[in-house]
């Protein structure tokens, strides 16, 4: 009798929990929709509070097939409009996964606002935090500082010595974890390019501050001692102190030469002759380092991994780069050489496509939107699954195959968005591409390497990477 009673009770509780979010979020909206011709996108809102997080984590963390999260939904609800409703990261959300709707969302900044949950860590004046005209203004400064021709020319000159030194030291070690070593090399180059600091104990301490800051960006914003977010805020304050002092030192110099990104941010003037305020310079240099650090180093890690997996690609890459080799493998190449390295540039794109470093982009719906007869409710999140564009066989033939030759033809419009799009298109994309091409040059002409665990699993959270950190045997050619 008891067993039957508890069985029924369990069923009833299960039923209520399963449908709770639907009643809570959807029924009021459906009532509104019934008065208009629009309807909500298909989908399910999951359990109270956690929504569909279990399913998301199941695909991303446990079975490690992230794209099947969407495939399962496509299978269940069909492919009508390229979006589903769900509840993820504590918020009712719409997931979008086709080029057309990605374009619509990325190019409608007035309707879909980029929003960071932990904005204090990036700074309220940072490019990622501001909107509308304020965003355009800061963005102009930032893109100008990074992408001025003289800034890009400097990149090639400044990053190659550290790259060459790092590769030589890897060969001496004989066995490395590429993820760890590329991270170290990237931060040393960022130190040089962005704020002219040489490798050493001080730069290492800044590196640690950034690593902890970035842990806080992905953590729940609980500002209590012992929590990652609280510690990240402390790191942020220390970074503010450092960059504030650096700014004062630079302002007190008689003659300021534009040598790095921070100088660029300090000096550039807009059409009205205005410069960024001190706070704006600090917030933006902090967030540029944060945005460029792990992303660029992961691209390098993936290049090492994929080239080891695909020796035929490495052979072609080597042949092309050998032809551009100057006197010795340690000699540097110029940005002009890079633009002539046609196959290398295809390898760069293919690494970035396969690596899917930024799996998603997030937006908050600012005003209710009707899209092709479907309602996207105000206040919900929109999650753009950038990675899914690159792994969908509708967009790329045999998508899981690392094939730089696919770039003999341009990608179909809207299918390749590793750097996002619209007004928030990554301003560091050229910098990231050039750095990767330079690394590919020096790697391919001077070194050989072999994966120690060729079948290592791939993890997808917080960033995609082989679980062993890409352990390789590394030596001179």
* Tokens found for residue 453: 């665990």
Region of 458 please: left (phi>0), alpha (psi -120 to 50) or beta: beta
Which window, 213-221, 293-301, 446-454, 459-467, contacts ligand HEM (CB under 6 A)? 293-301
Asked whether position 123 contacts ligand HEM by CB under 6 A, the answer is no
Asked whether position 213 contacts ligand HEM by CB under 6 A, the answer is no
Residues in contact with ligand HEM, total (CB under 6 A)? 26
The CA distances from residue 400 to 243, 397, 450, in Å, are 42, 9, 21
Beta bridge partners of 450: 473
Residue 168 CA neighbour count, 13 Å, CB half:
9
Q: How far is the CB of 267 from ligand HEM (least distance, A)?
A: 17
Which window, 92-100, 224-232, 234-242, 284-292, contacts ligand HEM (CB under 6 A)? 284-292
Asked whether position 182 contacts ligand HEM by CB under 6 A, the answer is no
d(CA 169, CA 75): 50
Residue nearest to ligand HEM as judged by C-beta position: 428
Asked whether position 427 contacts ligand HEM by CB under 6 A, the answer is yes
DSSP 8-state class, residue 245: H
DSSP 8-state class, residue 184: H
Asked whether position 418 contacts ligand HEM by CB under 6 A, the answer is yes
Q: Which long-range contacts (CB under 8 A, 24 or more apart) does 460-464 make?
A: 460/60, 460/61, 460/64, 460/66, 460/359, 461/57, 461/60, 461/61, 462/218, 463/294, 463/298, 463/357, 464/298, 464/302, 464/355, 464/356, 464/357, 464/359, 464/387
Which window, 19-27, 269-277, 291-299, 333-341, contacts ligand HEM (CB under 6 A)? 291-299
In this complex, which beta carbon is closest to ligand HEM, that of residue 329 or of residue 428?
428
Asked whether position 432 contacts ligand HEM by CB under 6 A, the answer is yes
List the interface residues with ligand HEM, window 87-116 (CB under 6 A): 114
Q: Mask of contacts with ligand HEM, 340-379, x by CB under 6 A?
A: ------------x----xx--x------------------
* Coil, helix or strand at residue 449: strand
Q: Is 235 annotated as a binding residue?
A: no
Chain residues in the site for ligand HEM (CB under 6 A): 114, 127-128, 139, 146, 287-288, 291-292, 295-296, 299, 352, 357-358, 361, 386, 418-420, 424, 426-428, 431-432
């Amino acid at each position: 009798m008891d067993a039957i009673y508890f069985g029924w009770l369990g069923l009833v509780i299960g039923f209520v929990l399963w449908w709770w979010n639907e009643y809570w979020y959807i029924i009021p909206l459906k009532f509104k929709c019934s008065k208009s011709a629009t309807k909500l996108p298909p989908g399910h809102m999951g359990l109270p509070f956690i929504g569909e997080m279990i399913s998301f984590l199941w695909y991303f963390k446990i079975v490690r097939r992230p794209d099947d999260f969407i495939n399962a939904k496509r299978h269940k609800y069909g492919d009508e409009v390229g979006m589903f409703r769900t509840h993820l990261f504590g918020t009712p959300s719409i997931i979008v996964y086709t080029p057309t709707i990605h374009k619509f969302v990325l190019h409608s900044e007035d309707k879909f606002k980029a929003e960071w949950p932990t904005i204090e860590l990036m700074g309220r004046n940072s490019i990622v935090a501001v909107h509308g005209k304020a965003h355009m203004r800061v963005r102009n400064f930032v893109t100008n500082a990074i992408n001025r021709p003289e800034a890009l020319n400097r990149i090639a000159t400044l990053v190659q010595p550290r790259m060459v030194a790092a590769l030589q030291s890897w060969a001496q070690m004989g066995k490395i974890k590429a993820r760890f070593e590329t991270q170290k090399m990237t931060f040393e180059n960022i130190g040089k390019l962005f704020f002219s600091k040489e490798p050493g104990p001080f730069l290492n301490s800044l590196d640690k501050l950034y690593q902890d800051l970035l842990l806080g960006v992905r953590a729940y914003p609980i500002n209590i001692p012992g929590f990652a977010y609280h510690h990240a805020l402390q790191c942020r304050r220390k970074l503010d102190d450092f960059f504030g002092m650096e700014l004062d030192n630079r302002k007190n110099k008689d003659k300021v030469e534009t040598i790095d990104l921070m100088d660029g941010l300090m000096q550039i003037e807009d059409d009205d002759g205005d410069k960024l305020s001190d706070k704006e310079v600090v917030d933006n240099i902090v967030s540029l380092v944060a945005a460029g650090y792990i992303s660029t180093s992961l691209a390098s890690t993936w290049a090492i991994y994929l080239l080891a997996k695909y020796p035929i690609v490495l052979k072609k890459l080597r042949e092309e780069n050998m032809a551009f080799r100057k006197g010795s493998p340690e000699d540097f190449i110029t940005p002009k050489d890079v633009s002539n390295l046609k196959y290398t540039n295809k390898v760069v794109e293919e690494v970035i496509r396969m690596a899917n470093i930024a799996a998603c982009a997030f937006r908050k719906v600012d005003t209710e939107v009707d899209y092709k007869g479907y309602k996207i409710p105000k206040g919900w999140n929109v999650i753009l699954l950038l990675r899914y564009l690159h792994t969908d066989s509708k967009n790329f033939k045999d998508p899981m195959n690392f094939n730089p030759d696919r770039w003999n033809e341009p990608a179909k419009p809207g299918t390749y968005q590793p750097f996002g799009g619209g007004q928030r298109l990554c301003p560091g994309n050229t910098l990231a591409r050039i750095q990767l091409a330079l690394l590919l040059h020096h790697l391919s002409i001077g070194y050989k390497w072999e994966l120690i665990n060729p079948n290592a699993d791939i993890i997808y959270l917080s960033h995609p990477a082989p679980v062993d950190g890409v352990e390789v045997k590394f030596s001179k050619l």
